[in-house]
Amino acid sequence: MSDAVANISVSVFDPSEPRMNPLFDTHAHLNSKDFDENVAEVVERARQGGVVGIGVIGIDLATSRRAVELAAEFPDMIHAVVGIQPNSVAESSEGDFAEIEKLASAPGVRGIGETGLDCYWDDTPIEQQQIAFDQHIDLACRLALPMVIHMRESGELIAEQLARQSQLPEAVMHSFTGDWELAERCLEMGLMISFAGMVTFKKSDDLREVAKRVPEDRLLIETDSPYLSPEPLRGKRPNEPARVQHILRCLADVRNVPTSTLAEATTANARRFFKLP
């Protein structure tokens, strides 16, 4: 790890600081139980920290409905993404995906997902995950909405499934953890690449090298709240959108660009991805 990254890992953000780089947390789960009691406070802390948008991502029907509710409650900040995450597919009820299709037309919905494949957990057989992934791809294409892709030890399988499609929606590989070869394949298919707290971890030199090479106009940042708290807050849950500034600072350092420049670029990328004004 470079000295500059090490310095990032010990700098603690003070929301009272006057600096206001625009930040966009493209992937957070403020619809999880971790935030049942304080979601308004969490959104306000994000706002005070310069966050101008938060993508709230569904993992099943209940959390997708909650994402839509939060988008209605905080229309200037929260943008809903609805779907059934691969680990939730097996436990979803018959008819849940039809309800997701209906939700996708609700005000404030800006994307489909999270979907994809997961080879780490064994909650859902991979064949069943692949069927659900195809359903989400088709829905995103039909509605012209971007898609959020979950990957965990499944990057190659995801790339292969995407390559088999006759049409792809705009999509992002969220919380990217693959190597540069996989990143190149994703970029060639037109995907965005998003980095979460893992890119700040002290042993993530290889991942930082990948982040260094992603074209600026294809780069997004996220917290994946309440998970993956970045350095210097690693292990401190719940993570929350205000902490997205730590991911930004780390990426700006490894890419050798000012934080203000990268903040503006990643925020513009997020607005373009979610089709926001």
| DSSP secondary structure letters along 124-192 | S-HHHHHHHHHHHHHHHHHHT--EEEEEES-HHHHHHHHHT-S----EEETT----HHHHHHHHHTT-E
Residue-wise pLDDT tens digits, 234-245: 999 899 999 999
Cα–Cα distance, 271 to 277 (Å, whole number): 7
Cα 101 to Cα 59, 67, 138: the distances in Å are 14, 14, 11
Q: Enter the tokens of residue 135.
A: 């359903």
- 219-221 β-sheet, strand order: 23-28, 51-57, 78-82, 109-118, 147-152, 171-173, 192-195, 219-221
Cα–Cα distance, 108 to 106 (Å, whole number): 6
Phi and psi (nearest 5°) for 54? -135, 125
Q: What is the pLDDT of residue 19?
A: 55
Q: What is the pLDDT of residue 9?
A: 35
Residue 101 and residue 113 in contact, taking contact as beta carbons nearer than 8 Å: no
**3 state DSSP class of 37:** coil
Cα 89 to Cα 93, 95, 274: the distances in Å are 9, 12, 24
Scanning the structure block, which residue is given the tokens 């993508």?
55
Q: What is the pLDDT of residue 122?
A: 87
% of the chain surpassing 90 pLDDT = 91
CB atoms within 10 A of CB 4: 14
In the predicted structure, residue 46 carries a pLDDT above the cut 50: yes
CB atoms within 10 A of CB 234: 16
Q: Which of 149, 153, 111, 155 lies closest to 133, judged by CA?
A: 149
In the predicted structure, residue 276 carries a pLDDT above the cut 50: yes
Residue-wise pLDDT tens digits, 164-205: 999 999 999 999 999 999 999 999 999 999 999 999 999 999
> Mean pLDDT score of the chain, rounded to an integer?
93
Residue-wise pLDDT tens digits, 84-110: 999 999 999 999 999 999 999 999 999
What confidence tier does 16 reach under pLDDT thresholds 50, 70, 90?
very low
Residue-wise pLDDT tens digits, 235-275: 998 999 999 999 999 999 999 999 999 999 999 999 999 99
In the predicted structure, residue 38 carries a pLDDT above the cut 70: yes
